[in-house]
Amino acid sequence: MNDSIIPVYVLTGFLGSGKTTILNRILDHAKTKGIKPAILLNEVGDVNIEGQLIEADIPMSELLGGCICCTSRGDLGLELVELAREHKPEVIWIESTGVAQPLEIMDGITEASLYAKLELKNVVTVVDSRHLLDRMRIGSGKTFKLMKEQIRAANILVLNKVDLVQTEDLTELQEALASWNSAAKVIVTTRGELDPAVLYAETQPLHAHMHRHAQESAPIHVHDEHCNHDHKDDHVHHHHDHHQHSIVSEFHDHVNVVTYYFQSAIDSVAFENFLKQLPESIYRAKGIVTFRDTASLFLFQYAYKEVDFLRITPQKSVNNVAVFIGEGFSQSELLERLEKLES
């Protein structure tokens, strides 16, 4: 790594694509190779689940309650400069929220480079194979547009969860990626299993790639299409619901986030059934929970009807909390069901 100029890498991709799994592999790789990383994590919710589990000796900044590309974009540059100056890392990784527009993040990094020696190297977009395939079948919608723009902005594409699609579907997906972004390097994975070294590899320069894309297609205004609001008045609506211990937030005029803090342990079977019955309009859920039948803490992940539990032993105090992200779902009904889990 260059001692004077700090390389910056962006890890993006729609909700539930597998970014956090890959980030953990990146951190393990850095530790093995003796590389000093710093992390900037962005969440649309008011609590960062994964950030609570990152080792305390890794410098980390958190941007919560909004996505980098709009409500938190001004903070992005400040956080990057502070990370660079205070901790002097050898590499900085930015994990953006799943609803962020990468081009805006790239602009923010470029602005930060005016005040610190930073260089944007690679934009890595993680793609959920099953989810993208289903969106391709529908062929329209705000989510599909955003997924395509996240793909177009990258110079490395990780086509993840390929075990969930058929061989002929995988071929269709690869052809779609090539049509949207022929310049990007494509890495095919299951459960994010890859050698992080490939993410540091030299690829087609981002500036040249974006210039080529601008020439070949119409100007990109997907952030406006996805958000449908004026950036001058970017804001996030937060309100505390009438239910206790919960926060309901609205982003991008259609993406809703519910954060719920558990006050007691819950039944593991009831909670797993609750997750499996979530409506399709909830794209993503994650959190840390304590079950009545065990003293251990568990990290849970829900993405596109898949549920995963991992027993964890945090090195620091963490909250028992669940975050739900989606659009058009009944927030009051969700909160009522959560409260019943604790009764």
Confidence of residue 74 (pLDDT cuts 50, 70, 90): low
Q: Are 278 and 285 in contact (CB under 8 A)?
A: yes
Domain enclosing residue 265, as ranges: 236-342
1 part of a folded domain = no
119 part of a folded domain = yes
Of 177, 195, 227, the position where a domain reaches its end is: 227
Residue 227, pLDDT above cutoff 70: no
Same domain, 202 and 243: no
Which residues, 6 or more positions from 219, have their beta carbon under 8 angstroms from its beta carbon?
Answer: none
**Quick one: average pLDDT of 32-45?**
86
Same domain, 219 and 241: no
Q: How many domains does the chain have?
A: 2
Helices 142-152 and 129-138 cross at an angle (nearest 10°) of 120
Same domain, 43 and 114: yes
Same domain, 145 and 166: yes
Same domain, 51 and 144: yes
**Quick one: average pLDDT of 239-257?**
53
Q: How many CB atoms lie within 10 A of CB 277?
A: 8
201: domain CATH number is: 3.40.50.300
42 part of a folded domain = yes
Same domain, 166 and 136: yes
Residue 134, pLDDT above cutoff 80: yes
Q: What is the pTM of this model?
A: 0.71
Please give the mean pLDDT across all residues of the chain: 80
Of 227, 251, 277, the position where a domain reaches its end is: 227
Q: Are 15 and 99 in contact (CB under 8 A)?
A: yes
Annotate the chain with three-state secondary structure: CCCCCEEEEEEECCCCCCHHHHHHHHHHHHHHHCCCEEEEEECCCCCCCHHHHCCCCCCEEEECCCCCCCCCHHHHHHHHHHHHHHHCCCEEEEECCCCCCHHHHHHHHHHHCCCCCEEEEEEEEEEEHHHHHHHHHHCCCHHHHHHHHHHHCCCEEEEECHHHCCHHHHHHHHHHHHHHCCCCEEEECCCCCCCHHHHCCCCCCHHHHHHHHHHHCCCCCHHHHHHCCCHHHCCCEEEECCCCCEEEEEECCCEEEEEEECCCCECHHHHHHHHHCCCCCEEEEEEEEEECCCCCEEEEEEECCEEEEEEECCCCCCCCEEEEEECCCCHHHHHHHHHHHHC
250 part of a folded domain = yes
Percent of the chain clearing pLDDT 90 (strictly above): 45
- pLDDT value of residue 138: 92
Same domain, 72 and 207: yes
327 versus 217: the higher-pLDDT residue is 327
**Quick one: average pLDDT of 239-252?**
50
**Quick one: average pLDDT of 310-325?**
83
Same domain, 125 and 262: no
Which residues, 6 or more positions from 246, have their beta carbon under 8 angstroms from its beta carbon?
Answer: 240, 258, 259, 260, 261, 335, 338
Of 227, 250, 276, the position where a domain reaches its end is: 227
Same domain, 107 and 30: yes
Give the Cα separation of 285 and 141 in Å (integer).
21
**Quick one: average pLDDT of 236-241?**
44
CA atoms within 13 A on the CB side of 20: 22
- pLDDT value of residue 65: 53
Same domain, 135 and 178: yes
Segment 249-308, tens digit of pLDDT: 544 445 677 889 899 999 999 999 999 999 988 988 888 999 998 888 999 989 877 888
Segment 186-216, tens digit of pLDDT: 999 999 999 999 999 887 656 444 444 444 4
Q: b or e along 106-139 (b: 16 or more beta carbons within 10 Å of the residue's beta carbon)?
A: bbbbebbbeebebebbbbbbbbbbbbbbebeeee
Lowest mean pLDDT among 26-30, 89-93, 138-142, 288-292: 138-142
Give the Cα separation of 75 and 100 in Å (integer).
14
Same domain, 136 and 115: yes
Residue 27, pLDDT above cutoff 90: yes
Lowest mean pLDDT among 29-33, 46-50, 53-57, 223-227: 223-227
Same domain, 183 and 117: yes
Lowest mean pLDDT among 70-74, 309-313, 320-324: 70-74
293: domain CATH number is: 3.30.1220.10
175 part of a folded domain = yes
